[in-house]
């Protein structure tokens, strides 16, 4: 396995992805990682990430320099390289301005880290300080036209450094360099597969849970569904999934959930029908954050009530993913501003004295999907587009009523039907309808109408942090618009949302 030390680079997750693409397991750790922990993890190699700091700034992140003397191969990227040079006795020069953008990289050798890398290849630079003097024993292994020390190595100590970012797509041969580090330098084994993950995870869950009961909030989304199947495989009937039907779901969703989990997978799911409670809580509320708070609160109440019925439960299982926990350990990635509050069952463990089981906490979303397939979950569940916890309530702009929910539910089903028919479902991050709080004038037959407006929203994205509006074919949009207006009572106008994130967000609320 590989340890990636997080010096605060926004690209850390990308490094992890690149490593795992080669079926090598890796873990991102904070700079406070101790030598003892490294020894106990026994990694095949360590990658020091980039980061926004200068090694001269007061609070620059540092690792125990002893980590570079353990005989474990180390690759320093950008700030990681500078840290390596600085602590090994070289000189890093402070720069007033950053070098940012594409540069032409020329490796000095065609083996080791640079096997298969051509004599000239583009690389992505983004750094302030640069290397002035190499520490003893290090040699320059590559330069760019502007940066003489773009790559260095101390082969005996197995220490390597790159001033540019091999993990980003702007460095086309960067993938190859990372692969070379894994297999030419570190001698990693390709043993990180979903099959091996299932086996290990099942053993771990069995050991952690013993004969105790585990509660799980099943939402029908990919993460909680996969977590449920995995835990069920480990502890069978001791898993108690709770599904809260908040009445804010898409058409047919609750039934499909029953079919898959209760009938096909033989799980004892507890269904808490609570749509009335949610609707009455939302009565008269139009503010998006208020909606979320109310939905979060009612959810907690209903879930807790259900959970209390499971006597003697000791654990709460959650489908937490790796990106969620990386953010909380990151050296510099402190909490970002709250744009929209997302709710979960965070308060429950404390209240009910439950311990957490989070079997997906080292996985990325696409790995969770592969895991779902490995565990035999049906395709429509595994490849489901993300759906927000507060459901259709934040897509009914303005007040949420049963009538308005029902209009949007029909519209949503129709949009998804067309998207699937045209083979766009998996190409899009999300696609859905939004019911606007204004009405517009139309004409149907010879009659004037004054009805609702639907906005269609479809975006492409890889992580929801940024998103681009999808360039859906006009003909497809035309069919959707026609069908919505003709088939769904109460709508006489359809618009298409052509805004990207940022500055807009994916959802309208």
**Residue 162 β-bridge partners:** 77, 151
**CA pair distance 162, 75, nearest whole angstrom:** 8
Nearer to ligand XMP, 339 or 443 (CB): 339
CB of 76 vs ligand XMP, minimal distance in Å: 33
**CA pair distance 76, 68, nearest whole angstrom:** 10
CB of 264 vs ligand XMP, minimal distance in Å: 25
The pair of structure tokens assigned to 298 is 């009612």
Nearer to ligand XMP, 115 or 301 (CB): 301
112 carries a ligand binding annotation: no
- Residue 165 catalytic? yes
For 132, the enclosing helix (H) or strand (E) is strand 130-133
CB of 322 vs ligand XMP, minimal distance in Å: 17
CB 109 within 8 A of CB 177: no
For binding to ligand XMP (CB under 6 A), which residues are involved?
292, 339-340, 342, 386, 388-390, 430, 464, 501, 505-507
CB 368 within 8 A of CB 382: no
| Burial (Cβ within 10 Å: 0-12, 13-18, ≥19) of residue 326 | buried
CB of 154 vs ligand XMP, minimal distance in Å: 44
Question: Taking the CB of residue 100, how many other CB atoms lie within 10 A of it?
Answer: 11
3-state class (DSSP) for residue 208: helix
- Residue 26 catalytic? no
Nearer to ligand XMP, 81 or 411 (CB): 411
222 carries a ligand binding annotation: yes
CB of 388 vs ligand XMP, minimal distance in Å: 3
Q: Which of 165, 186, 306, 410 is catalytic?
A: 165
Q: Which of 26, 86, 154, 167 is catalytic?
A: 167
The pair of structure tokens assigned to 393 is 């309530």
Nearer to ligand XMP, 203 or 289 (CB): 289
CB of 344 vs ligand XMP, minimal distance in Å: 8
**CA pair distance 184, 114, nearest whole angstrom:** 10
Instruction: Give yes or no for a cis peptide into 503 (omega within 30° of 0).
Output: yes
Q: Which of 26, 29, 78, 232 is catalytic?
A: 78
Nearer to ligand XMP, 481 or 505 (CB): 505
Nearer to ligand XMP, 88 or 224 (CB): 224
219 carries a ligand binding annotation: yes
Nearer to ligand XMP, 415 or 506 (CB): 506
**CA pair distance 30, 7, nearest whole angstrom:** 7
CB of 220 vs ligand XMP, minimal distance in Å: 12
**Residue 244 β-bridge partners:** 272
Contacts of 165 (CB under 8 A, 6+ apart): 11, 50, 77, 78, 123, 124, 125, 126, 171, 174
130 carries a ligand binding annotation: no
3-state class (DSSP) for residue 315: strand
Nearer to ligand XMP, 72 or 274 (CB): 274
DSSP-assigned states of every residue in 359-399: TTTT--HHHHHHHHHHTT--HHHHTPPP--TTGGGGTB-S-
Contacts of 486 (CB under 8 A, 6+ apart): none
CB of 467 vs ligand XMP, minimal distance in Å: 7
Place of tokens 């760019």: 144
**CA pair distance 268, 394, nearest whole angstrom:** 30
Contacts of 442 (CB under 8 A, 6+ apart): 448, 449, 450, 451, 485, 492, 493
137 carries a ligand binding annotation: no
- Residue 123 catalytic? no
Binding-site residues from annotation for ATP? 219-225
Which residues are marked as active site?
A: 78, 165, 167
Binding-site residues from annotation? 219-225
């Amino acid at each position: 396995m590989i340890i990636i030390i997080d010096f605060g680079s926004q690209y850390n997750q990308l490094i992890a992805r690149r490593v795992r693409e080669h079926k090598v397991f890796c873990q991102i750790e904070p700079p406070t990682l101790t030598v003892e922990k490294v020894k106990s993890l026994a990694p095949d190699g360590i990658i020091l990430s980039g980061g926004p700091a200068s090694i001269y700034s007061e609070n620059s992140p540092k690792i125990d320099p002893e980590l570079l003397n353990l005989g474990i191969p180390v690759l320093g990227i950008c700030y990681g390289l500078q840290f390596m040079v600085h602590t090994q006795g070289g000189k890093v020069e402070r720069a007033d301005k950053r070098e940012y953008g594409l540069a032409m990289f020329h490796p000095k050798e065609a083996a080791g880290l640079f096997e298969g890398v051509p004599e000239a290849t583009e690389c992505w630079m983004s750094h302030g300080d640069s290397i002035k003097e190499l520490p003893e024993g290090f040699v320059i292994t590559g330069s760019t036209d502007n940066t003489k020390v773009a790559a260095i190595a101390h082969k005996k100590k197995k220490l390597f450094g790159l001033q540019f970012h091999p993990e980003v797509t702007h460095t086309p041969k960067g993938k190859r360099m990372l692969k070379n580090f894994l297999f030419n330098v570190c001698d990693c084994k390709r043993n990180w597969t979903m099959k091996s993950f299932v086996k290990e995870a099942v053993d771990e869950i069995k050991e952690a849970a013993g004969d105790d009961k585990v509660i799980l909030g099943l939402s029908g989304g990919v993460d909680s569904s996969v977590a449920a199947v995995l835990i069920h495989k480990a502890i069978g009937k001791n898993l108690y999934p709770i599904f809260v039907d908040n009445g804010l779901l898409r058409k047919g969703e609750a039934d499909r959930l029953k079919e898959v989990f209760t009938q096909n997978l033989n799980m004892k799911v507890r269904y808490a029908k609570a749509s009335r409670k949610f609707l009455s809580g939302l009565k008269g509320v139009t503010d998006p954050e208020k909606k979320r708070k109310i939905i979060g609160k009612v959810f907690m109440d209903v879930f807790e009530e259900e959970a209390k019925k499971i006597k003697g439960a000791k654990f709460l299982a959650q489908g937490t993913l790796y990106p969620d926990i990386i953010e909380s350990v990151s050296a510099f990635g402190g909490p970002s501003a709250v744009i929209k509050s997302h709710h979960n069952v965070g308060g429950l463990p404390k209240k009910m004295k439950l311990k957490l089981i989070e079997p997906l906490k080292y996985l990325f979303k696409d790995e969770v999907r592969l895991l779902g397939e490995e565990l035999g979950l049906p395709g429509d569940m595994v490849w489901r587009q993300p759906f927000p916890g507060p459901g259709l309530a934040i897509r009914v702009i303005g007040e949420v009523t049963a009538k308005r929910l029902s209009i949007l539910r029909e519209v949503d089903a129709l949009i998804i039907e067309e998207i699937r028919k045209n083979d766009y479902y998996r190409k899009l991050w999300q696609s859905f309808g939004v019911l606007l709080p204004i009405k517009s004038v139309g004409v149907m037959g010879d009659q004037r109408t004054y009805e609702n407006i639907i906005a269609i929203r479809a975006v492409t994205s890889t992580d929801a942090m940024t998103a681009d509006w999808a360039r859906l074919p006009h003909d497809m949009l035309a069919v959707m618009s026609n069908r919505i207006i003709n088939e769904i009572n109460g709508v006489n106008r359809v618009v298409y949302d052509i805004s990207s994130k940022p500055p807009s967000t994916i959802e309208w609320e």
